[in-house]
Amino acid sequence: MTATALSHPARIEMIETIIVDVPTIRGHVLSMTTMQSQSVVLVRIRFSDGSEGLGEGASIGGLSYGPESVESIKLAIDSYITPALTGEDGNRIAALRALMDKTVRGNPIARAGVETALWDGLARRLGVPVSALFGGAIHERLPVAWTLASGNSATDIAEAERMLDERRHRDFKLKIGKRAVRDDIAHVAAIAKAIGERGTVRVDVNQAWSLQDARWGLKGLQDAGCILVEQPVGRDELSALRKLTDGYEIAVMADEALQGPGDAMRVAMAGPAADVYAVKVCQSGGLAPARDVISIASAAGIELYGGTMLESGLGTAAALQLFATVPVLQWGTEFFGPLLLTEDILAEPLHYQDFTVAIPQGPGIGVALDADKVAFYRRDRTRIQTAIAGQ
Among all residues, which ones are annotated catalytic? 175, 334
From residue 231 to residue 270, the character string flagging contacts with Mg ion as x (rule: CB under 5 A) and all else as - is ------------------------x---------------
User: From the CB of 334, what's the least distance to Mg ion, in Å?
Assistant: 9
Burial class (CB in 10 A: 0-12, 13-18, 19+), 34: middle
User: From the CB of 231, what's the least distance to Mg ion, in Å?
Assistant: 5
Q: By C-beta, is 60 or 93 nearer to ligand MUC?
A: 60
Size of the site for Mg ion (CB under 5 A): 3
Q: From the list 334, 352, 356, 359, which residue makes contact with ligand MUC (rule: CB under 6 A)?
A: 334
Task: Decide which of Mg ion, ligand MUC, none touches 116; Cβ closer than 5 to 8 Å per partner kind.
Answer: none
Q: Does 204 bind ligand MUC (CB under 6 A)?
A: yes
User: From the CB of 259, what's the least distance to ligand MUC, in Å?
Assistant: 13
Q: Does 207 bind ligand MUC (CB under 6 A)?
A: no
Q: Does 255 bind ligand MUC (CB under 6 A)?
A: yes
User: From the CB of 205, what's the least distance to Mg ion, in Å?
Assistant: 8
User: From the CB of 336, what's the least distance to ligand MUC, in Å?
Assistant: 8
Burial class (CB in 10 A: 0-12, 13-18, 19+), 87: exposed
Q: By C-beta, is 228 or 310 nearer to ligand MUC?
A: 310
User: From the CB of 202, what's the least distance to ligand MUC, in Å?
Assistant: 10
Chain centroid to CA 272: how far? 23
Task: Decide which of ligand MUC, Mg ion, none touches 310; Cβ closer than 5 to 8 Å per partner kind.
Answer: ligand MUC
Q: Does 229 bind ligand MUC (CB under 6 A)?
A: no
Phi, psi of 28 (to 5 degrees): -110, 105
At residue 125, what is the residue type? R
Distance CA 137, CA 124 (A): 16
Helix 313-323 and helix 108-126: axis angle, to 10°? 70
Burial class (CB in 10 A: 0-12, 13-18, 19+), 147: buried
Binding segment for ligand MUC (CB under 6 A), chosen from 10-18, 307-315, 325-333, 371-379, is 307-315
Binding segment for Mg ion (CB under 5 A), chosen from 28-36, 167-175, 200-208, 209-217, is 200-208
Q: Does 131 bind ligand MUC (CB under 6 A)?
A: no
Distance CA 349, CA 340 (A): 13
Question: What letters, b where the CB count within 10 A reaches 16 and e where it falls short, cover 324-337?
Answer: bbbeebebbbbbbb
Q: From the list 123, 310, 329, 350, which residue makes contact with ligand MUC (rule: CB under 6 A)?
A: 310
Q: Kindly report the number of other CB atoms within 10 A of residue 191's CB atom.
A: 24
Q: Does 206 bind ligand MUC (CB under 6 A)?
A: yes
Size of the site for ligand MUC (CB under 6 A): 10
What is the residue-wise DSSP string for 107-147?
Answer: -HHHHHHHHHHHHHHHHHHHTSBHHHHTT--S-SEEEB-EE
Rounded to a whole number of angstroms, the CA Rg of the chain reads 21
Q: Kindly report the number of other CB atoms within 10 A of residue 242's CB atom.
A: 17
Binding segment for ligand MUC (CB under 6 A), chosen from 67-75, 106-114, 294-302, 303-311, is 303-311
For residue 95, what are the CA distances in angstroms to 46, 88, 115, 119? 18, 9, 11, 13
Q: From the list 308, 316, 321, 333, which residue makes contact with ligand MUC (rule: CB under 6 A)?
A: 308
Distance CA 364, CA 117 (A): 9
Q: From the list 56, 120, 204, 334, which residue makes contact with Mg ion (rule: CB under 5 A)?
A: 204
User: From the CB of 256, what's the least distance to ligand MUC, in Å?
Assistant: 7
Our separate counts of H helices and E strands in the chain read 16, 13
Q: Does 311 bind Mg ion (CB under 5 A)?
A: no
For residue 208, what are the CA distances in angstroms to 44, 175, 264, 345? 36, 11, 21, 32
From residue 27 to residue 66, the character string flagging contacts with ligand MUC as x (rule: CB under 6 A) and all else as - is ---------------------------------x------
Phi, psi of 335 (to 5 degrees): -80, 60
Binding site for ligand MUC (CB under 6 A): 60, 147, 149, 204, 206, 255, 307-308, 310, 334
Binding site for Mg ion (CB under 5 A): 204, 230, 255
